[in-house]
Amino acid sequence: MFQAIADPTRRSLLQLLVDQEIPVKDIAGHYPMSRTAVSKHLRILSEAGLVVERKVGRETRYRLDPEPLLELKRWLAYYERYWENRLQALKRLVEADESVHPRGE
């Protein structure tokens, strides 16, 4: 999953597929690379579960499945409190300084 979203093209694909189901040909139209290359990116996203494919006639349509991003959210939540600590420490510094140099002085 982390690997899947590491590539900028793939992140762009996720955004494109956010609430539409699009066939490979049309997806590829948005990118400067070959259709095959796009197809390979889609496969990687699919293996990460970030995208769902559905065959309709001779085309394969893809759409976003954001569910695996929950893992990322959990991972991130772990660090969130640390940067909150940092921000709070900063805030305390600012406030301490204000008691010495009150606003409007």
Partner DNA sequence: AAATTATGAAACCATTTGGTTTCACTTATT
Partner DNA sequence: AATAAGTGAAACCAAATGGTTTCATAATTT
Q: Which of residues 42 and 64 has its CB atom nearest to a copy of itself in the complex?
A: 64
Alpha carbons within 13 A on the beta-carbon side of 46: 14
For position 11 contacting a copy of itself by CB under 8 A, the verdict is yes
Is the C-alpha dihedral spanning 16, 59, 6, 73 positive or negative? Answer: positive
Residue of 80, 88, 93, 98 interacting with a copy of itself (CB under 8 A): 80
Taking CB under 8 A as the binding criterion, the range among 23-31, 32-40, 68-76, 92-100 that sits at the site for a copy of itself is: 68-76
* Smallest distance from DNA to CB 32, Å: 7
Residue of 14, 16, 23, 68 interacting with DNA (CB under 7 A): 23
Residue of 18, 33, 72, 90 interacting with DNA (CB under 7 A): 33
For position 64 contacting a copy of itself by CB under 8 A, the verdict is yes
Cα–Cα distances in Å, from 7 out to 24, 78, 95, 104? Answer: 18, 23, 41, 49
For position 57 contacting DNA by CB under 7 A, the verdict is yes
Is the C-alpha dihedral spanning 9, 11, 12, 17 positive or negative? Answer: positive
Per the CB < 8 A criterion, the answer to whether 58 and 51 are in contact is no
